[in-house]
């Protein structure tokens, strides 16, 4: 009961803080809805351009403004495994729309980059900014004002948050998100990690490493570990933007296609032309956002969402803070163990009962707001189900299993893996930071050790190769924040620091960069704010300064006398190498405009 009261209190706190912004946002939605945000407001020349390639019957229907038109925003490309399945989705959606008496058009495409391809490469410095580009690209597609609802085809890291920001910006339209699903299970994630460590130690060569990576990432769909991509899918379902049970069905299966057709028909059913009008901006409210945060904590989800959820909420006029996220972590138990928080992958999680089981457990304990609106209708209880293929080729749903299929992967609340959630916010004289605790053993959550300071992950990796990373230490990687170089993920540090930890050294990481949804067994205080380039305290740390990282107490301190530390000159960094190459020069304006990580790191004004 205490946890339930805490969640209610935090929700009310967010509601009160957001009151003015939320009222203004809802006013804009009401105004847009009153203008009938579709073809009636378009001139004949405008409309002729909008349906020039449609069939004669479709032109008649769209011209009369009596038939709902569904806009498709897609992140399809055929290089990336997670997005390749979307190639066939528009045809399925258009066919389903015709069956439902509507029309569907591809409104626009958005870029979709892969952090897995760009890890440790210059292109990673565009990754976080791609979220805002995606939001703006989707807005361009919807700006034609031809649509009564929209479906969004997106899966991975920055794509889904960018699409959510766009959907909420067009909050007067109903919006349904359609996933592609995870790839089938390949080489176990822990086996892949072992080969990475052996390669870093020079014990195997590049051919062996490439073979292991290729056996892990081997086909269509998202990567199977529980990083940002699969955290996105959990969020969309628990926030009611997916149809029930849609998140973790593999691509290329009859059930996946049936779910896609169903989602298209549902989007057409909730337009203003029918009796179940569900504009996404009214549907997503403070309770929905809190449900998303609860889902993130209970599954040990991606640290990236401590940034994205704030930006997504801001797009709906809701002021979410790191403190809200941290306080919710204290009220929510950890119920999932999916790599890197365990050995299972998302397919094992889904087979054990998946989100349907998880939603029911949380609802029964009062840890989720049940009284929300979703694309499926009223209340979250209909999401406590498992989607299956019916005899007629459509989707049928059964109640989620009462027992977990594997309690080592998915636990009931009474057998939670830990009493609190998987993420925590740290505070102290170095500012604020985020740490993912769910994969870190309890005995490693407190470390006090001297700092070794670097201005790039390459510099740390060079020190590892040189054999100078001896003894216990806390690695400080600074000038990696959004204003400095776009806040790249520093995931390549995971292998090096993991090797040192396995050798018996006590190590940790402190950085103003990101560490990705795959943050692992080494304690890492990431997203340090203010960042070094904004004269944050992290820029005043010297080699040898003792730092104390206490994930249990929620503190991050440099143990230097306050007056001495305050009088130190902040370090300078040569960032010229981050300004050009692979498109980075085009994002100079983003680096100037971007907000702080704890404010959502957005390059436009609403966050």
Tell whether 156 is in a known binding site: yes
Number of neighbouring beta carbons within 10 Å of residue 419? 11
The three-state DSSP-derived secondary structure of 39-66 is HHHCCHHHHHHHCCCCCHHHHHHHHHCC
Helix axis angle for 322-331 and 305-315, nearest 10°, is 110
Q: How far is CA 438 from CA 71, 110, 243, 391, 420, in A?
A: 39, 33, 28, 41, 9
The three-state DSSP-derived secondary structure of 487-527 is CCECCCHHHHHHHHHHCCCCEEEEECCECCCCCCCCCEEEE
Query: Which of left, alpha, beta for 168 (phi over 0: left; psi -120 to 50: alpha)?
Result: alpha
532's tokens:
């070094």
Tell whether 54 is in a known binding site: no
Helix (H/G/I), strand (E/B), else coil: 429: coil
Tell me the pairing of strands 546-550 and 175-178.
unpaired
Q: How far is CA 126 from CA 74, 337, 345, 484, 506, in A?
A: 20, 31, 28, 12, 33
At residue 77, φ and ψ (nearest 5 deg) are: -150, 160
**Bridge partners of 151?**
72, 176
**Bridge partners of 508?**
474
419's tokens:
């009493």
Contact 155, 83 (CB under 8 A): yes
Quickly tell me which residue has 């009859």 as its tokens. Answer: 254
Query: Which of left, alpha, beta for 320 (phi over 0: left; psi -120 to 50: alpha)?
Result: beta
d(CA 135, CA 386): 31
At residue 147, φ and ψ (nearest 5 deg) are: -120, 145
Q: Which amino acids are annotated as binding site for [4Fe-4S] cluster, given as ranges?
A: 156, 223
């Amino acid at each position: 009961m205490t946890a339930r009261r805490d969640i209610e209190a935090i929700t009310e706190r967010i509601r009160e803080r957001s009151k003015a912004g939320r009222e203004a946002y809802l006013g804009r939605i009401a105004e847009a809805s009153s203008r009938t945000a579709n073809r009636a407001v378009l001139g004949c020349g405008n409309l002729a351009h909008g349906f020039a390639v449609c069939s004669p019957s479709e032109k008649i229907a769209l011209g009369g403004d009596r038939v709902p038109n569904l806009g498709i925003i897609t992140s399809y490309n055929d290089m990336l495994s997670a997005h390749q399945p979307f190639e066939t989705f528009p045809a399925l959606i258009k066919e389903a729309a015709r069956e439902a008496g509507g029309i569907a058009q591809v409104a626009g495409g958005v870029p979709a980059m892969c952090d897995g391809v760009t890890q440790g490469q210059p292109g990673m410095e565009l990754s976080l900014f791609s979220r805002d580009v995606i939001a703006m690209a989707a807005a361009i597609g919807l700006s034609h004002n031809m649509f009564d609802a929209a479906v969004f085809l997106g899966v991975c890291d920055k794509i889904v948050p960018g699409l959510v920001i766009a959907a909420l910006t067009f909050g007067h339209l109903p919006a349904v998100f359609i996933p592609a699903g995870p790839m089938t299970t390949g080489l176990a994630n822990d086996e892949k990690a072992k080969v990475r460590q052996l390669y870093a130690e020079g014990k195997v060569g590049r051919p062996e490493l490439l073979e292991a990576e290729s056996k892990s990432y081997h086909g269509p769909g998202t990567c199977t570990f529980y990083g940002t991509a699969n955290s996105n899918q959990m969020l969309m379902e628990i926030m009611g933007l997916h149809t029930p049970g849609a998140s973790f069905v593999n691509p290329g299966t009859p059930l996946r296609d049936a779910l896609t057709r169903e989602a298209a028909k549902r989007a057409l059913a909730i337009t203003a032309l029918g009796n179940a009008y569900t504009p996404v901006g009214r549907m997503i409210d403070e309770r929905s956002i809190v449900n998303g945060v609860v889902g993130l904590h209970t599954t040990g989800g991606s640290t990236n969402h401590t940034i994205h959820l704030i930006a997504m909420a801001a797009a709906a006029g809701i002021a979410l803070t790191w403190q809200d996220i941290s306080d919710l972590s204290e009220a929510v138990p950890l119920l999932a163990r999916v790599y890197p928080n365990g050995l299972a992958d998302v397919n094992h999680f889904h087979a054990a009962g998946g989100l349907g089981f998880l939603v029911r457990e949380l609802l029964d304990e009062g840890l989720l707001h049940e009284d929300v609106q979703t694309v499926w209708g009223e209340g979250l209880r209909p999401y406590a189900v498992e989607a299956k293929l019916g005899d007629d080729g459509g989707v049928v749903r059964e109640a989620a299993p009462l027992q977990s299929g594997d309690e080592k992967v998915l636990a009931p609340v009474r057998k939670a893996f830990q009493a609190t959630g998987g993420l925590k916010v740290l505070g102290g004289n170095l500012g604020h930071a985020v740490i993912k605790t769910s994969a870190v053993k309890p005995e490693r959550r407190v470390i006090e050790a001297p700092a070794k300071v670097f201005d790039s992950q390459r510099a740390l990796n060079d020190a590892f190769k040189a054999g100078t990373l001896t003894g216990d230490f806390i690695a400080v990687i600074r000038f990696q924040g959004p204003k400095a170089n776009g806040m790249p993920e520093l995931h390549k540090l995971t292998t090096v620091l993991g090797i040192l930890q396995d050798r018996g050294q006590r190590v940790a990481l402190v950085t103003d960069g990101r560490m990705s949804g795959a943050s692992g067994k080494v304690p890492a205080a990431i997203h340090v704010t203010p960042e070094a380039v904004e004269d944050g305290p992290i820029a005043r740390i010297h080699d040898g300064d003792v730092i104390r990282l206490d994930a249990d107490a929620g503190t991050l301190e440099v143990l230097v006398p306050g007056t001495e530390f305050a009088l130190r000159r902040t370090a300078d960094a040569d960032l010229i190498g981050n300004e050009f190459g692979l498109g980075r020069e085009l994002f100079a304006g983003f680096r100037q405009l971007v907000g702080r990580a704890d404010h959502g790191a957005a390059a436009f004004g609403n966050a």
